[in-house]
Amino acid sequence: MMKSRRDVIKSPHKKNNLTISRPLSRLNKPSVLTATTSTSRANIKVVVRVRPSNTKESGDNHRVVVKVVDENVLIFDPKENAEPFFYHGVQQKTRDLLRKTQKDLQFTFHRVFDVHVQNAEVFDHSTKPLINSLMDGINCSVFAYGATGAGKTYTMLGNPSNPGITFLTMEQLFHTKEELSADRDFQLGITYLEVYNEIVQDLLNPGSTLTLREDSKFGVVVAGIKYVEIKSANELYTLLEQGNKNRTQHPTDANSESSRSHAVFQVYLKMKFKVTGEIRMAKLSMIDLAGSERGSATGFQGARFVEGANINKSLLALGNCINSLADSQRHVPYRDSKLTRLLKDSLGGNCQTVMIANVSPSSLSYEDTYNTLRYATRAKAIKSSIKRNV
């Protein structure tokens, strides 16, 4: 739907194609014709959020298996368990044995958010920096990954008194838009869809099934989707809430149906510079993914997932794309699912990605948490080819 940020044109002077490189600062400089170099660098930020224990997890039928060490490090299944009550009544010999079998694995991420951290702080250290990239015409995508009940929707949508990062990101986007309004005109529209059982449905226009088309000029196009132009972040919260109610099952019901749908919120940004008339476009995609519990059973160990009848195809395809991007393979299997086809222009390549891995702190979600941490570790390895002016 959006044009690529860079238009490759034939140079009359050189054999090679050149790229019109847009200025990376916010200043309204005219585009310059330069050759570019490609550098390979990580262009994904992976953060982990640990949600507070719930009432089911507060008795002595469980123990805490995630210990946040600092802003970047956590320990999964620590030997020195933070919850000594778990050992109450347990003999010293058994305690020692239990400690021996504990994994005590240290994981490092770009940021780790402990249980007391609010949505506003998650926003500050995850999606807030994306706004400058969008202003530079770079497509950005944000994924909330994790098992059902791990806190994905709480992080993305939140609630009216504690709005999630989708709202906070949009609020910041409108703020930046105001700041730059002397410099450029903005057109900003949103879409909100769901991928459920490989069917794409419009969450802002319930009942309509959408098709994805490849367009030679605009790439992947969602035919017939309702596109809403919005003027303020306040208009947005109502739309988001409304859209969430239209999900195949209400997302707060932790049932098997709701956990299979991906909610994809997309923002299309068109900027026109007042002096030069230059047009710059960017797209932001924020995705509340389906619960990872089914797909995670096979884990991530470099092997490709085997697709089973009950496994969420789009979630597995996303995992396989992440694997391919992490291994710097030439072929990335975007075409394998609806979700990855939709996000082809927003994942890998010249895009910024934020992965928010959500986990429960409790041993009741031991396998899910372990698999999510491994998935998130894998995602950290994605490299992108970033073109910079020489």
Binding residues for ligand ADP, rule: CB under 6 A, are: 51-52, 54, 146, 148-154, 251-252, 254, 358
Residue nearer to ligand ADP on the CB measure, 225 or 290: 290
Tokens (6 digits) for 294: 């089914």
Residue nearer to ligand ADP on the CB measure, 81 or 119: 119
Residue 235 near residue 244 (C-beta atoms within 8 A): no
CA 122/CA 134 separation, integer angstroms: 19
**Strand 352-359 to strand 162-163: parallel, antiparallel, or no bridges (unpaired)?**
unpaired
Match 């000594």 to its residue by tokens. 84
Residue nearer to Mg ion on the CB measure, 153 or 371: 153
Q: Does 146 bind Mg ion (CB under 5 A)?
A: no
Q: How far is the CB of 107 from ligand ADP (least distance, A)?
A: 19
Q: How far is the CB of 156 from ligand ADP (least distance, A)?
A: 8
Find the radius of gyration of the CA atoms of the chain. Answer: 22
**Residue range at the interface with Mg ion (CB under 5 A); choices 92-100, 123-131, 145-153, 315-323:** 145-153
Alpha helices in the chain (DSSP H): 92-101, 119-124, 130-135, 152-156, 165-179, 233-245, 313-326, 338-342, 366-379
164 binds, among Mg ion, ligand ADP, none (CB under 5 to 8 A by kind): none
Q: How many helices (H) and strands (E) does the chain have?
A: 9, 21
Q: Does 251 bind Mg ion (CB under 5 A)?
A: yes
Residue nearer to ligand ADP on the CB measure, 147 or 267: 147
Q: Does 153 bind Mg ion (CB under 5 A)?
A: yes
CA 314/CA 318 separation, integer angstroms: 6
Q: How far is the CB of 357 from Mg ion (least distance, A)?
A: 14
358 binds, among ligand ADP, Mg ion, none (CB under 5 to 8 A by kind): ligand ADP
Residue nearer to ligand ADP on the CB measure, 262 or 344: 262
Residue 33 in 3-state DSSP?
Answer: strand
Q: How far is the CB of 111 from ligand ADP (least distance, A)?
A: 14
- Please provide the size of the chain in residues: 390
List contacts with Mg ion (CB under 5 A).
152-153, 251
